[in-house]
């Protein structure tokens, strides 16, 4: 039934595909509810048609036949059927809205689930707020679409058919004449639908840009004010909102154009019926009651016919929403592997880079420019080195050299283009990504904290950590003092990404989280860069304790952190340019290391 629908109302095969997919995912799931709603809609359609039919006996028996009993009986009938109609309409509304709300919840969960499974690279190609705003707009659009389809297809179409039945019953010839007008209207409307489609996509994109601008301004308000960027941002937002308004108006204009079109056609039809029907009553002795009933049916048919005719125009907008949702759902999930290899429970993990080459290139549709293709020269080229199990290896080198990328590769956020990364001799390709990451604790270059309390944030690292373990970790990271000084202590709720904390405090929480994780492999990306010398020294003490007996890869600039490492690997321009102990490297005075060393020592 719905395939014939989609063929009729949705011209492009692509649209039919999206619709079919949505329908098959949702109609089956809500079958019981839809059946109930459809029964309600059928009753409503039947009552509407019946009330047109009733005009026959009303005119004939009451106005001409002067039958008072019949008048009372008919008026009683009308009360009853309208009561039923009211109740059934209520039921149907509630059912449809419930389906819609549940659908929104399910699409949201599904999208979130899918987002969590996507490559880190996908998110690098998107603005987070734009993505989120687009998804939210689109989910609502999808809900409206299915409900519009059901309402349109079932209520309006069935009502129309029933009313047409009454019309044919009352007068076959006049009914046939009316049907010459119908197809004309449909053709015009198809043209409108095509235009709505294009504008609807632009509308969603502009709205998500508006959301992005607002979020950026509120997030970066300090910089906005410091650089007195207010006017520039205002102009930018004004342009965007004006554009969005313009698109919405365009859609409104096109959609509204369908009304006068239908109105005019209906006017012609009714005029024709009055003239021709009147002529037949007067000249041919045709029953006036039949004419009244026919005209009532015709007038009542106007609303559903109009809605049905506009359905495609309205649906185009939702169709755009649906397609954009599936564009995200269809992004293949992470290059993470489900290999059978596991890191041995007692292993500390000997990490080896074997001639690894990698470049950030990826192909994702970011919904704004369509396909965005990032093709960049290698960031890591022919890199070989070992992070020995149970030891500390430091990565040093100028910024942009590829150090953070190395840490990302070890966590399998990306797969190397060539060469291999092995842990205990097993290539990462063959290790289950989840098990791999479970063996790692990571402190990112920019501390990331989540909505919730400090305690919750620390516990994300290991859900079964006890409160005592959490506080112990915070103590080691020199975070306990400032946490205890907060009004709610460990239950203090964090602002957006910990906005109510200082950079150093955020970094200490991020270190505490890694301590809670208690994993054999430790990856520290400039973990102490935001700390002053004194707290750095204290945190470093804690980290030294933590590093003992673990495989640690530490990226740092400070001499104090680097000099105690078992091995130092100097990375520049995506290559390993030197490696050895602090003492060995110092002797080679011409290297990058010597330069770095001078800088940090001075």
Ligand X SMILES: Nc1ncnc2c1ncn2[C@@H]1O[C@H](COP(=O)(O)OP(=O)(O)O)[C@@H](O)[C@H]1O
Residue 92 Cβ vs ligand X, minimum distance, rounded to whole Å: 50
Annotate 399-438 with DSSP letters as a single string: TTSSHHHHHHHHTTSS--SEEEEEETTEEGGGB-HHHHHH
| Torsion angles phi and psi, residue 150, rounded to 5 | -65, -45
- Burial of 601 from C-beta contacts in 10 A (0-12 / 13-18 / 19+): exposed
Q: Report the partner that residue 379 touches, choosing among Mg ion, ligand X, none (CB closer than 5 to 8 A by kind).
A: ligand X
Residue 363 Cβ vs ligand X, minimum distance, rounded to whole Å: 13
Q: Report the partner that residue 486 touches, choosing among ligand X, Mg ion, none (CB closer than 5 to 8 A by kind).
A: none
**Mask 392-431, x = binds ligand X (CB under 6 A)?**
-------xxxxxxx--------------------------
Residue closest to Mg ion (Cβ): 404
Binds ligand X (CB under 6 A): choice among 71, 124, 426, 586: 124
Instruction: Name the residue nearer to ligand X (CB basis): 114 or 557.
Output: 557
Q: How far apart are CA 262 and CA 259, in angstroms?
A: 5
- How far does Cα 13 stand from its chain's mean position? 24
Instruction: Name the residue nearer to Mg ion (CB basis): 163 or 570.
Output: 570
Residue 120 Cβ vs ligand X, minimum distance, rounded to whole Å: 8
**Helix 503-517 × helix 467-476 angle, to 10°:** 130
For Mg ion, which stretch binds (CB under 5 A), given 16-24, 323-331, 399-407, 496-504? 399-407
For Mg ion, which stretch binds (CB under 5 A), given 315-323, 379-387, 438-446, 576-584? 438-446
Q: According to the binding rule CB under 6 A, does residue 205 interact with ligand X?
A: no
Taking a C-beta distance cutoff of 8 angstroms, is the pair 5, 153 a contact? yes
The CA distances from residue 602 to 79, 276, 577, 597, in Å, are 94, 102, 23, 8
SS3 of residue 396 by DSSP: strand
Residue 382 Cβ vs ligand X, minimum distance, rounded to whole Å: 15
For Mg ion, which stretch binds (CB under 5 A), given 174-182, 200-208, 439-447, 451-459? 439-447
Annotate 255-299 with DSSP letters as a single string: HHHHHHHHHHHHHHHHHHHHHHHHHHHHHH---HHHHHHHHHHHH
Q: According to the binding rule CB under 6 A, does residue 443 interact with ligand X?
A: no
Residue 377 Cβ vs Mg ion, minimum distance, rounded to whole Å: 18
Residue 442 Cβ vs ligand X, minimum distance, rounded to whole Å: 14
- List, as own/partner pairs, every contact residues 295-299 make where C-beta atoms lie below 8 angstroms and the sequence separation is at least 24, other chains included: 295/270, 296/51, 296/52, 296/55, 297/49, 297/52, 297/53, 297/163, 297/164, 297/166, 297/167, 297/170, 298/163, 298/167, 298/178, 298/269, 298/270, 298/273, 299/270
**Mask 317-356, x = binds ligand X (CB under 6 A)?**
----------------------------------------
Instruction: Name the residue nearer to ligand X (CB basis): 290 or 526.
Output: 526
Residue 125 Cβ vs ligand X, minimum distance, rounded to whole Å: 8
Q: How far apart are CA 521 and CA 496, in angstroms?
A: 29
Our CA angle for 130, 131, 135, nearest 5°, is 115
For Mg ion, which stretch binds (CB under 5 A), given 222-230, 364-372, 396-404, 561-569? 396-404
Q: How far apart are CA 465 and CA 158, in angstroms?
A: 61
Q: According to the binding rule CB under 5 A, does residue 404 interact with Mg ion?
A: yes
Other CB atoms within a 10 A radius of the CB of residue 217 amount to: 17
Residue 514 Cβ vs Mg ion, minimum distance, rounded to whole Å: 17
Q: How far apart are CA 278 and CA 265, in angstroms?
A: 20
Our CA angle for 454, 458, 460, nearest 5°, is 120
Instruction: Name the residue nearer to Mg ion (CB basis): 297 or 394.
Output: 394
- Residues in contact with ligand X, total (CB under 6 A)? 11
**CA 141, 143, 145, 151 torsion-angle sign:** negative
Residue 445 Cβ vs Mg ion, minimum distance, rounded to whole Å: 5
List b or e across 332-360, with b for residues whose CB sees 16 or more CB atoms inside 10 angstroms. eebebbebebbbeeebbbbbbbbebebbb
**Mask 358-397, x = binds ligand X (CB under 6 A)?**
--x---------------x--x------------------
Residue 593 Cβ vs ligand X, minimum distance, rounded to whole Å: 14
**What is the radius of gyration, based on Cα positions, of the chain?**
35
- Residues in contact with Mg ion, total (CB under 5 A)? 2
Tokens of 13: 């095969």
Residue 423's nearest CA partner among 501, 480, 351, 515 is 351
**Mask 521-560, x = binds ligand X (CB under 6 A)?**
----------------------------------------
Residue 359 Cβ vs ligand X, minimum distance, rounded to whole Å: 8
Q: Report the partner that residue 357 touches, choosing among Mg ion, ligand X, none (CB closer than 5 to 8 A by kind).
A: none
Binding site for ligand X (CB under 6 A): 124, 360, 376, 379, 399-405
Binding site for Mg ion (CB under 5 A): 404, 445
């Amino acid at each position: 039934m719905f395939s014939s629908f989609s063929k009729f109302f949705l011209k492009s095969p692509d649209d039919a595909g999206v619709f079919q997919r949505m329908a098959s995912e949702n109609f089956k799931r809500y079958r019981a509810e839809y059946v109930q709603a459809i029964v309600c809609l059928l009753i409503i359609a039947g009552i509407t048609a019946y009330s047109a039919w009733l005009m026959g006996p009303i005119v004939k028996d009451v106005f001409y036949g002067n039958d008072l009993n019949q008048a009372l009986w008919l008026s009683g009938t009308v009360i009853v059927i309208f009561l039923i109609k009211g109740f059934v309409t209520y039921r149907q509304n509630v059912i449809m809205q419930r389906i819609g709300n549940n659908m929104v919840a399910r699409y949201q969960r599904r999208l979130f689930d899918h987002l969590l499974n996507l490559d880190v690279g996908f998110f690098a190609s998107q603005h987070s707020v734009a993505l989120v705003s687009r998804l939210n707009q689109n989910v609502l659009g999808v809900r409206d679409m299915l409900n519009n389809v059901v309402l349109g297809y079932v209520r309006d179409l069935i009502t129309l058919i029933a009313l047409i039945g009454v019309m044919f019953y009352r007068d076959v010839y006049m009914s046939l004449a009316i049907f010459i007008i119908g197809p004309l209207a449909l053709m015009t409307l198809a043209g409108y639908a095509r235009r709505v489609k294009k504008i609807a996509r632009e509308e969603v994109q502009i709205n998500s840009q508006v959301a992005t601008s607002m979020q950026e301004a509120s997030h970066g308000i300090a910089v906005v004010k410091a650089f007195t960027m207010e006017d520039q941002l205002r102009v930018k937002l004004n342009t965007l909102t004006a554009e969005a308004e313009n698109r919405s108006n365009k859609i409104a204009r096109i959609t509204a154009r369908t009304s006068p079109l239908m109105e005019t056609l209906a006017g012609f039809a009714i005029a024709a019926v009055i003239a021709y029907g009147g002529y037949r009553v007067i000249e041919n002795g045709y029953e006036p009651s039949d004419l009244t009933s026919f005209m009532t049916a015709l007038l009542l048919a106007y609303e559903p016919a109009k809605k049905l005719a506009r359905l495609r125009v309205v649906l185009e907008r939702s169709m755009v929403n649906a397609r954009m949702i599936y564009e995200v759902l269809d992004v293949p999930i992470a290059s993470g592997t489900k290999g059978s290899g596991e890191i041995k429970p007692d292993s500390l993990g000997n990490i080896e880079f074997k001639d690894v080459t990698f470049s950030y290139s990826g192909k994702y549709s970011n919904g704004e420019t369509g396909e965005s293709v990032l093709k960049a020269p290698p960031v890591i080229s022919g890199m070989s080195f070992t992070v020995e199990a149970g030891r500390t290896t430091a990565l040093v080198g100028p910024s942009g050299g590829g150090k953070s990328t190395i840490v990302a590769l070890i966590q399998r956020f990306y797969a190397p283009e060539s060469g291999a990364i092995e842990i205990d001799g097993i290539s990462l390709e063959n290790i289950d990504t989840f098990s791999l990451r479970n063996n790692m604790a990571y402190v990112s270059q920019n501390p990331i904290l989540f909505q919730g309390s400090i305690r919750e944030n620390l516990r994300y690292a290991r859900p079964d950590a006890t409160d005592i373990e959490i506080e112990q970790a915070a103590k080691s990271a020199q975070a306990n003092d400032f946490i205890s000084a907060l009004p709610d202590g460990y239950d203090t709720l964090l602002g957006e990404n910990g906005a109510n904390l200082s950079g150093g405090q955020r970094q200490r929480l991020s270190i505490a989280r890694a301590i809670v994780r208690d994993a054999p492999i430790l990856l520290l990306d400039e973990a102490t860069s935001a700390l002053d010398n004194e707290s750095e020294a204290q945190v470093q003490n804690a980290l030294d304790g933590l590093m003992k007996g673990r495989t640690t890869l530490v990226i740092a600039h400070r001499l104090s952190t680097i000099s105690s490492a078992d091995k130092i690997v100097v990375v520049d321009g995506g290559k390993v340019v030197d490696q050895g102990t602090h003492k060995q490297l110092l002797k080679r005075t011409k290297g990058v290391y010597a330069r770095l060393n001078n800088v940090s020592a001075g």
